[in-house]
Structure 1
Amino acid sequence: MIREQATDKRTSKTVRHEADLIVVGGGLSGVCCAITAARAGIQVLLVQDRPVLGGNSSSEVRLWVLGATSHMGNNNRWAREGGVIDELLLENLYRNPEGNPLIFDTILLEKVVLEPNIKLLLNTAVYEVEKSDADTISGLKAFCSQNSTQYELVAPLFCDASGDGLVGFQAGAAFRMGAESREEFGEKFAPTAEYGELLGHSLYFYTKNTGRPVRFVPPAYALDDITKIPRYKRFNAQEYGCQLWWIEYGGRLDTVHDTEAIKWELWKVVYGVWNYIKNSGQFPEAETMTLEWVGQIPGKRESRRFEGDYMLTQQDVVEQRTHADAVAFGGWSIDLHPADGIFSEKPGCNQWHSKGMYQIPFRCLYSRNITNLFLAGRIISASHVAFGSSRVMATGAHVGQAVGMAAALCTQNGLRPRDLTEPAQIQNLQQELLKTGQHIPGLSLRDPDDLAQNASLSASSEFSLNELPPDGPLQPLTHSAAQMLPLPAGIIPQMTAIVTADQATTLTVDLRRSSKPLNHTPDVTLETLTIPLVKGKQTIDLPFTSRMDEPGYVFVMFMKNEHVQLQYSQLRVTGVLSVFNKINPAVSNYGKQEPTDDIGVDTFEFWCPERRPAGQNIALTIKGGIRLFGAENSRNGSQRPTSQPNAWVAAADDPNPTLTLSWPNKQRISRVELRFDTDFDHPLETVIMIHPETVSPFCVDEYELCSDSQERIFHQTNNYLSNRTIRFEQPIETTSLTIHLKSKRSFGEGAFTPASLMEIRCYA
């Protein structure tokens, strides 16, 4: 029993926590920052003002996670973000292909609480920043309403991943809110008045079919006139959740301090929309449907953006400018919305893509005037236009990982964020990030401590792409189709394809490449073949005469012809992909991007893959074959296809694919790092979209490691992750290490992929 005498005043229970890094904000950027820093060996406090993690991806908001892959609707191939965010998305695919947002909550919570170096405070809101001097944060004060506890949080380093930049704002960090003029950075896409200065909030709803009639009586505050929404005819009974991302409002308000007012307006809209669907009589299929869930907090797009030592601009995105301090990448379109949101006559978004991924420099990830404050998520140093691309969650998570590693290096070396921009320091940061699976376009891992670099390498077989056998379906050329093939520098090999024509006709075949070796936009035509066809099935020669000046991908493009069917193959191979010139309106892909005005973006075509089980490769024979799948790829420092496949791929008929590293003297090995192909082209959306698989079919699901005595020292089954770290309790002493890839996955009846390995690294 507790009994206290009456008193004038009491104070809340106060608890003090100290750490090396305090991360404020438990969205994906904060989560990935905290996990990365903790795994790098420093103590982390993760402070989240909500009961769950994930921010806009959580069950409280339910937005799908997207980044550079853009729903597979742009030309960014193999562009899914790596590292921790990749791990989270693959775990969600494995456990939750149905896209249940509650399950994604549990995955995020599990990953955080399993890290011994993370202390997690949920339902805890930071309300005050303390400073030791004008440029330095010394601590934070926070309060948890659920346990009536006040916290004093102290650390030498802080990361603001709060979305609205609460810590940076109170600390006095320089920030911006709203759109820059065209003149400030020379951005030709700087918004006009109708597109306003801020992106608004969105609030979603879920529906359920009960199997029996359900009535709906709207609340008194529901929007009573659906025609106030100019696009109201777009509503239907099938779409729900973030498929209705354009239920947006607040672009003309203060998106920090007016959030509650914006939420109420969105509630009015949501209940008015459902009333329209249920009670207008235009949707009889909705008779048995009920409103299952409505968001209680809106998903925020934009508020404050803080100033670092560099500000990302439209030109960085479109021109894909390179930066010596690149630590992450983006690839979502420049995606700006009308200021009036759902009440606008304008389309719900205005998306303009670049031809490939762009680098994000480290100088954007810390405050220019608060010396110990990192920035992560949507608040990084970017103009309003560039923010239209960098704001999306997977990009923010990738940035958060860079900050987490940077904080670890600062802690270990007694540095402040800006100190890491010194060339040797930034190179160290980049290499440490690459070791974790973080992809940085244009950079490769060069690790002198990796014992694999000094080993002799041998493989049981190496795949040669001589043929994509004609064992797949015949598909009509109602859309142009292309086969992407990696090639070395030199003459293009001769090829043949198989087609069926329903009448005599002419088929046009283009051979194209990208103007930049790391891009996959086919914007350079090497040659065009015009091939006469007779009626019936036939093999056609593709007598290319062009040369490749440098290694890269070519596109063998069969232009659409309604009288022709193209033969496809069941064989799928790491780094080999078919793409199609189709339409994906969800990301403003209408086959070709053609800005009507000079807004500083490029005109080009979209050639995108189809989702499995579709998207088979085009059946081809290739004279002399393509031999770019050798064992040396497993230690070339690239962990995904880029301008080349970058994978060791075993021969399709190899019954026991093995890769052996040998040394002249015994090595003490305590850790092995493996990287597998989990199809970085797939975006792995977390909600709404139901995935037909729980594991990428490219990923080897069973493997074992053996020493020089052929003794099994490690065995893994049911593998589904890109990155695997094997730690031995006692170091293994051996003159060789052999990895056996024991199984390969099927794509379905008669379809399979040869076993592949992206990378192997060994450490003493």
Structure 2
Amino acid sequence: MIREQATDKRTLKSIRHEADLLVVGGGLSGVCCALTAARAGIRVLLVQDRPVLGGNSSSEVRLWVLGATSHMGNNNRWAREGGAIDEILLENLYRNPEGNALIYDTILLEKVVLEPNITLLLNTAVYSVEMDPNNGAETSSRIKSVSAFCSQNSTTYELVAPLFCDASGDGIMAFQAGAAFRMGAESREEFGEKFAPSADYGELLGHSMYFYSKDTGKPVRFVPPAYALQDITKIPRFRSFNVNDYGCRLWWIEYGGRLDTVHDTEIIKWELWKVVYGVWNHIKNSGQFPEAQNLTLEWVGQIPGKRESRRFEGDYMLTQADIVEQRTHDDAVAYGGWSIDLHPADGVFSEKPGCNQWHSKGIYQIPYRCLYSRNVGNLFLAGRIISASHVAFGSSRVMGTSAYVGQAVGMAAAVCTRQQLRPADLTGTKLKTLQTELMKTGHHIPGLRLHDEQNLIHQGRLSASSELDLSELPPDGPLIPLRHSAAQMLPLTPGPVPKLTFWAISTQETTLTVELRRSSRPDNHTPDITLETKQIPLHTGKQSVSLHFDTPMTDTAYAFICFGENEAVFIQGSQLRMTGLLSVFNKTNPAVSNYGRQEPASDIGVDAFEFWTPERRPNGHNMALRIEPALRPFAAENVRNGIQRPTHQPNAWVADQRDTKPTLTVQWDSPKQIREVVLHFDADFDHPLESVLMTHPETAMPFCVRDFVLCNDRNERIYEHSDNYLSQQVIRFDKPVETRSLSLHLNAMNGSAPASLLEIRCYQ
């Protein structure tokens, strides 16, 4: 029994925590920041004001995670984000291909709690910031500590660290620390952004709330709450509601862009509740949806998913030109690729379309200078609050990109901790160190290669049991109708284009247009340059057709063999799938404003171009081709070229498909003491891996090695692994292995694709 005498005042229980880095905000950005920093060896405090991790991707909001891949609806090939976010999404695919948001929650929590360097505080809200009064000669201020409160255990926390990261979405810590910020849209003149919105369109994106329904197998009635929206016609798009759309497919149930999206969030939430319950009342009780008779309302969001509020200023501000022009930055540490996606401020009540998306021709770099405060010296920025204009924010705000930025901040904090630096001090060779350490985790930075002097693979001789010579994509697959133009991407090198043979089936005499195209940038995958066009007469029936292109390739890049739309023609497909090879189609994907071609109606500073996108498996077969001479882009040497995914080339060793024991061997002239081996496999960076709602055809990517064995120079097994589905495996030996060679045996794949490896690294 506890009994206390009456008193004037009591204080709450208080706990003090210290760490190297304090991360405020447990959305995907904060989670990936904390994981990356902790795995790099520093102590991390992760503070989350909700009971689960994941922010807008969690079971509380249930938005799918997307980034540069954009539902495979843009021209950004092999663009899914790597590193910690890749690991999370691949784990979710393996355990949860159905997209259950509750299972996804457990994966995020497991990843965090298994890291010994992370202290996690859930249901804990930061409410106060103490600044350091002893800055010395520094011109910028510094955070000393923050105070937080957990409503579940009635405890306050004093949280102390030399470095802080605000990944809270609204910037609760950065705001109180006095960090410079913006809220709303810049004028067109400030950064020369032609897509800057008008006052009529509005300066802020609103919040959204989703619902899920369930078929109970028997009639269910619905009595709406008194606050439900009564007049559904107040929503201009009310005729779009149906029984099939639920969850984040209803992203356009949005409101709040005319309000203060920080302090008016509760007002916005109530308005969204009114809309959601009004919509469900319309579906259940209007009589227009008899198919809804057995449906019940299974779940409605309790908190809104936020899009935009404060954006904090760094030493550089990302702008529209950085995205559209794909500008390069010496301090690039991340990338984006989602469209510039702005929404009308009136949201669901607007007469305008729910969004206005404009894509660039490829992915763009995000510089490190956007990821720390320009006036608070020990404050990192991550997630949607990074230093970006309102227009650029329209692209950088999405969760896949936000998580990627968080990873960059986590590694930057680790480098700063080891070298006792402030965030702004990471320049020159120190910045190169950050880039190197990021790329070692599988964190791709466009335009950069990993140059790791400690990697012993560079000192050895590589050999392989076989290397795939691509002489044929055999004609054993389904017929591909040319209801839309289609293209086979082929990795070519400078010089003549090989002679190609394809197989066509025509229902009548016709002429087929075939074009040789490439992208204006070698690392892009927008076929915006036509090198040569041929008109090929076809007779009725099946026929083989030879292609001879006279125009040579001038650099190493993907060529597109484009077959023009022709309702009378089918192209023979192939069952053979492999790393770094894709077919693409000039189709539409309205979900991401892809209507086959992007054509700005006025001068808004974006490009006009066509969309050529893959189909999702089990569709999306390559086109059957005979290639003379054979292409040889799959050499073993690729595993040490510093690129861990297909870009301008496959960047992979691929074994011959007839090789029953594919093996890669590295040999050294003298014995090496091997403490660590890092392997990078092809987990199909082209597949977007949406985390909820959408289902996926596999639980592991078919190009990814499932079972492998590592042997020493005496052919003894020193490591073996089964049931792999991740893109990166780090092998650490308790005792160093002394050997003159390492042999990696790729014993089984997760699909029928030939065995492949993107990278191998070894360390003493």
Verify same fold: TM over 0.5. yes
Q: Which one-letter code corresponds to 1:113 in the other structure?
A: V
Match of 2:366 in 1: 360
**Structure 1 residue 225 corresponds to structure 2 residue 231:** yes
TM-score under structure 2 length normalisation: 0.99
Structure 2 SS opposite 1:702: strand
Structure 1 SS opposite 2:749: coil
Match of 2:560 in 1: 555
Structure 1 SS opposite 2:186: coil
1:744 deviates by 2.3
Structure 1 SS opposite 2:132: strand
Match of 2:284 in 1: 278
Q: Is the 8 A contact 1:476 1:565 kept in 2?
A: yes
Match of 2:113 in 1: 113
1:476 deviates by 1.5
**Structure 1 residue 326 corresponds to structure 2 residue 332:** yes
Structure 1 SS opposite 2:448: coil
Structure 1 SS opposite 2:632: strand
**Structure 1 residue 718 corresponds to structure 2 residue 723:** yes
Q: Which one-letter code corresponds to 1:211 in the other structure?
A: G
Among 476, 495, 516, which residue is 1:511 paired with? Answer: 516
Match of 1:123 in 2: 123
Aligned-partner Cα distance in 1 for 2:266–2:111: 31
Match of 2:443 in 1: 438
Aligned-partner Cα distance in 2 for 1:107–1:691: 17
Q: What aligned pairs does 1:247-396 form with structure 2 within 5 A after superposition?
A: 247-396=253-402
1:745 deviates by 3.3
Match of 2:137 in 1: none
Structure 2 SS opposite 1:93: helix
Match of 2:34 in 1: 34
1:474 deviates by 1.1
Structure 2 SS opposite 1:224: coil
Stretch of structure 1 that moved more, 1-10 or 679-688: 1-10
1:150 deviates by 0.4
Structure 2 SS opposite 1:490: coil
Match of 2:646 in 1: 641
Aligned-partner Cα distance in 1 for 2:368–2:404: 12
Stretch of structure 1 that moved more, 358-367 or 484-493: 484-493
Aligned-partner Cα distance in 2 for 1:18–1:678: 37
Runs of 4+ residues over 4 Å off in structure 1: none
Among 488, 495, 498, which residue is 1:493 paired with? Answer: 498
Match of 1:139 in 2: 145
Aligned-partner Cα distance in 2 for 1:656–1:291: 54
1:397 deviates by 0.2
Aligned-partner Cα distance in 1 for 2:263–2:479: 58
**Structure 1 residue 544 corresponds to structure 2 residue 549:** yes
Match of 1:237 in 2: 243
Instruction: Give me the CA root mean square deviation.
Output: 0.6
Which structure 1 residue ranges, 5 or more long, are not aligned?
A: 747-751
Match of 1:83 in 2: 83
Q: Which one-letter code corresponds to 1:170 in the other structure?
A: Q
1:475 deviates by 2.2
Aligned-partner Cα distance in 2 for 1:645–1:674: 16
Aligned-partner Cα distance in 1 for 2:264–2:3: 42
Aligned-partner Cα distance in 1 for 2:480–2:663: 36
Aligned-partner Cα distance in 1 for 2:683–2:522: 23
Aligned-partner Cα distance in 2 for 1:660–1:279: 68
Q: What aligned pairs does 1:444-455 form with structure 2 within 5 A after superposition?
A: 444-455=449-460
Among 430, 433, 445, which residue is 1:428 paired with? Answer: 433
Aligned-partner Cα distance in 1 for 2:380–2:445: 19
Cα deviation, 1:156-177, whole Å, max 9, x if unaligned, reads: 0000000000111000000000
Q: Which one-letter code corresponds to 1:135 in the other structure?
A: S
Match of 1:697 in 2: 702
**Structure 1 residue 611 corresponds to structure 2 residue 616:** yes
1:193 deviates by 2.0
Aligned-partner Cα distance in 1 for 2:246–2:493: 47
Aligned-partner Cα distance in 2 for 1:263–1:100: 24
Among 197, 206, 209, which residue is 2:215 paired with? Answer: 209
Aligned-partner Cα distance in 1 for 2:441–2:479: 42
Q: Which one-letter code corresponds to 1:567 in the other structure?
A: Q
Structure 1 SS opposite 2:679: strand
Aligned-partner Cα distance in 1 for 2:627–2:293: 57
Cα deviation, 1:393-424, whole Å, max 9, x if unaligned, reads: 0000000000000000100000000000x211
Aligned-partner Cα distance in 2 for 1:281–1:586: 28
Aligned-partner Cα distance in 1 for 2:89–2:115: 18
Q: Is the 8 A contact 1:595 1:601 kept in 2?
A: yes
Match of 1:167 in 2: 173
**Structure 1 residue 413 corresponds to structure 2 residue 419:** yes
1:432 deviates by 0.5
1:194 deviates by 2.7
Q: Is the 8 A contact 2:706 2:725 kept in 1?
A: yes
Cα deviation, 1:270-324, whole Å, max 9, x if unaligned, reads: 0000000001111111000000000000000000000000000000000000000
Structure 1 SS opposite 2:394: helix
Aligned-partner Cα distance in 2 for 1:546–1:688: 46
Q: Which one-letter code corresponds to 1:31 in the other structure?
A: V
1:478 deviates by 0.5
Q: Which one-letter code corresponds to 1:694 in the other structure?
A: T
Cα deviation, 1:209-233, whole Å, max 9, x if unaligned, reads: 0000000000000000010000001
Aligned-partner Cα distance in 1 for 2:214–2:366: 41
Q: Is the 8 A contact 2:332 2:367 kept in 1?
A: yes
Q: Which one-letter code corresponds to 1:282 in the other structure?
A: Q
Match of 1:602 in 2: 607
Q: Is the 8 A contact 2:26 2:48 kept in 1?
A: yes
Q: Which one-letter code corresponds to 2:29 in the other structure?
A: S
Q: Is the 8 A contact 2:700 2:750 kept in 1?
A: no
Aligned-partner Cα distance in 2 for 1:152–1:238: 48
1:6 deviates by 1.2
Q: Is the 8 A contact 1:29 1:396 kept in 2?
A: yes
Aligned-partner Cα distance in 1 for 2:497–2:200: 50
Aligned-partner Cα distance in 2 for 1:690–1:405: 32
Match of 1:687 in 2: 692
Q: Is the 8 A contact 1:195 1:336 kept in 2?
A: no
Structure 2 SS opposite 1:652: coil
Q: Which one-letter code corresponds to 1:360 in the other structure?
A: I
Match of 1:520 in 2: 525
How many residues are treated as equivalent by the alignment? 758
1:2 deviates by 1.7
Structure 2 SS opposite 1:194: coil
Aligned-partner Cα distance in 2 for 1:719–1:549: 39
Which structure 2 residue ranges, 5 or more long, are not aligned?
A: 134-139
Q: Which one-letter code corresponds to 1:249 in the other structure?
A: Y
TM-score under structure 1 length normalisation: 0.99
Q: Which one-letter code corresponds to 2:109 in the other structure?
A: L
Aligned-partner Cα distance in 1 for 2:64–2:200: 27
Aligned-partner Cα distance in 2 for 1:755–1:389: 36
**Structure 1 residue 730 corresponds to structure 2 residue 752:** no
Match of 1:573 in 2: 578
1:601 deviates by 0.1
1:360 deviates by 0.1
Structure 1 SS opposite 2:248: helix
Among 532, 535, 539, which residue is 2:540 paired with? Answer: 535
Aligned-partner Cα distance in 2 for 1:14–1:33: 26
Match of 1:749 in 2: none
